[in-house]
Structure 1
Amino acid sequence: MGGNEFQAGAELTHVLVVRDLTAARDFYRDVVGAEVVREYGGTSAVMRLFGTWLLLVTGGGPTPDKPTVLFAPPEDPDRVSHEMTFRIRDCQASYAELRRRGAVFLTSPVNHGSEIRCFFRDPDGHLLELSQIT
C-alpha cells in the first residue's frame, strides 16, 4: 500500500457493543444528540455523532473473518479500555444540559487548570467524557 490509498475517502466508525440496542440507541439519540442513520437486523444501529460514525451492535460470537473474537459489552464499567471524549466549549453548560436529558455523571466538572472535565456512562457502562480546554 503506497501513497494515500488507505486514507483517501476514509472515515472512522466507533463500534460499541451493547446489551439492549433500544436503550443504547435512545441514550445516544436523546441524551447525547446523535442522529440515527439506520438500523438493521434488530442487532445494529448506525448513528452520526459530532462528525463521526457510531455503530451500536449487540454482542455475538466469532465469524469467518474474526474466528476467535467474541463481541461483548463491558463486564466492569470501572475497567476502561475505550472512552470517547467530547471536546466542548463550555463544560458546565454541557454538563447541565446532559444531566437535564438524563445523563448520570460520576462527578460534577472538575477544573484541572488547563482543562475542565467530567465523566458519564452510557447504559452499558461505556465511559464518556466532556472536556473543555481552558
Structure 2
Amino acid sequence: MADEFPADTELTHILVVEDLRRAGDFYQRVVGAELVREYGGTSAVLRLSGTWLLLVTGGGPTADKPDVTFSPPADPGRVSHAMTFRVDDCRAAYDTLGARGAEFLTPPVDHGPEIRCFFRDPDGHLLELSEAR
C-alpha cells in the first residue's frame, strides 16, 4: 500500500517525566529497558521490548511545536496513553516486576480470555501486563 511507512520505520514512544534519573532508573531496573543514550540531562533513549522509549523532561513550545507544552501527567487517575506488555505468564511477570519495585493497582485479574494487571511508573504513566489465552 502506498500510504504505509517505509519498512525500516520504527516507532518511538515519548513519555514526559518530572525527574529523568528517577524515570530512567525505573524503566531500566524494574522493567528491564536498555539505556541507549542520554541528551544533556533532559532526555534519554531506551530500548524496550522491541521498541524505542524516549523519556523527556517537560518544556514549553519550540519552533517546530509552537503551541505545545510537554508535561508529565497531572492526574494519574485520568489516562490518555498507556503501554501494554504482552507476556506469556502474567502472574510470573507480576511477581518479577513486583520484586523489582513495581507497585501494581491490583494483582492479576482473570477476565477469561485475558489475564491482566496494571502498574504505574514514577510519573503516573499507566503500564499493563497482559496474558492472552
State TM-score, norm by structure 1: 0.96
* Identical residues among aligned pairs (%): 71
Which residue number in structure 2 is paired with residue 8 of structure 1? Answer: 7
List per-residue Cα deviations over 1:19-78 (Å, max 9, x = no partner).
000000000000000000000110000000000000000000000010000000000000
List per-residue Cα deviations over 1:78-132 (Å, max 9, x = no partner).
0000000000000000000000000000000000000000000000000000000
Shift of 1:4: 6.0
- Secondary structure, aligned partner of 1:76: coil
Give the RMSD, CA atoms, in angstroms: 1.2
Separation in 1, partners of 2:102, 2:95: 9
- Secondary structure, aligned partner of 2:29: helix
Shift of 1:9: 1.4
Q: Which runs of no fewer than 5 residues in structure 2 stay unpaired?
A: none
Which ranges of 4 or more aligned residues in structure 1 deviate by more than 3 Å? none
1:1-134 counterparts in 2 under 5 A? 3=2, 6-134=5-133
Amino acid at match of 1:84: M
State TM-score, norm by structure 2: 0.97
Q: How many residues align?
A: 133
Separation in 2, partners of 1:65, 1:121: 30
Q: 1:5 to 1:81 in 2, by over 3 A?
A: closer
Separation in 1, partners of 2:83, 2:40: 26
